[in-house]
């Protein structure tokens, strides 16, 4: 079964296998070293659904759906959905590190936003454009992300090894306007009901204290 997403055909994702709750990261960034607003660029399958998860968190100022890992010349939805451009569908999260840390964002990323054990896919959405990836902005983010992946693998909370790649940030390109805030604007869309809403329900149960009032 498939659904047309803004002119390109992408397939329905399947269920998630990741478990919750996850341990807090042992290694994290000091908020005092990051300024008033920090950024994280994360990829975990369809950006409509990942965006919806992070928009619900306290301390998150803005979430932008877009493309990371490829060149600006091919950073369009139709081209990226072909799986040939090197991009991943990703979100740029701008947040207050005094309210929510980079490590806390990663805990939500691994615990709710997607299934990090799937390589180059999320459910039935298949291809490198749906890969699980952290596009680190500096060495400090890379160290925290690498340490948390190791911590999660060692803890055995997932039934398979984490497949998330760590990739140096080389450019983030916002997606077309119709893809921004998609889940909130189209709550009755079939894709949103099947994929995004279960993630938001899980978020409410696992991370209730971190949600916006």
- Annotated active-site positions, please? 46
Structure tokens at 173: 């390109």
User: Which residues, in sequence order, are bridge partners of residue 11?
Assistant: 2
Residues 28, 127 contacting (CB under 8 angstroms): no
CA 120 – CA 44 distance, rounded (Å): 10
Handedness of CA 135, 47, 208, 99 (dihedral sign): positive
The Cβ of residue 198 has, within 10 Å, a number of other Cβ atoms equal to: 14
Burial of 63 by CB count in 10 Å (0-12 exposed, 13-18 middle, 19+ buried)?
Answer: buried
CA 119 – CA 60 distance, rounded (Å): 27
Residues 28, 144 contacting (CB under 8 angstroms): yes
- Degrees to nearest 5, angle at CA 67 with 66 and 68: 130
Q: Three-class SS of residue 159? A: coil
């Amino acid at each position: 079964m498939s659904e047309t997403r803004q002119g390109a055909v992408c397939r329905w994702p399947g269920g998630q296998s990741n478990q919750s709750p996850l341990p807090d990261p042992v290694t994290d960034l000091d908020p005092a070293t990051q300024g008033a607003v920090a950024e994280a660029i994360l990829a975990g399958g369809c950006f409509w659904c990942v965006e919806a998860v992070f928009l619900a968190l306290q301390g998150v100022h803005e979430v932008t759906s877009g493309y990371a890992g490829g060149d600006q010349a091919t950073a369009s939805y139709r081209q990226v959905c072909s799986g040939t451009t090197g991009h991943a569908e990703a979100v740029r999260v701008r947040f207050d590190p005094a309210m929510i840390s980079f490590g806390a964002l990663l805990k939500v990323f691994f615990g709710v936003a997607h299934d990090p054990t799937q390589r180059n896919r999320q459910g039935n959405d298949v291809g490198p454009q749906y890969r699980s990836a952290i596009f680190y902005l500096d060495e400090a983010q890379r160290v925290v992300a690498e340490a948390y992946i190791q911590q999660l693998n060692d803890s055995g909370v997932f039934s398979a090894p984490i497949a998330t790649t760590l990739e140096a940030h080389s450019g983030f390109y916002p997606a077309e306007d119709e893809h921004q805030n998609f889940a909130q604007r189209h709550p009755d869309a079939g894709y949103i009901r099947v994929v995004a809403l279960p993630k938001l329900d899980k978020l409410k149960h696992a991370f209730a204290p971190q949600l916006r009032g």
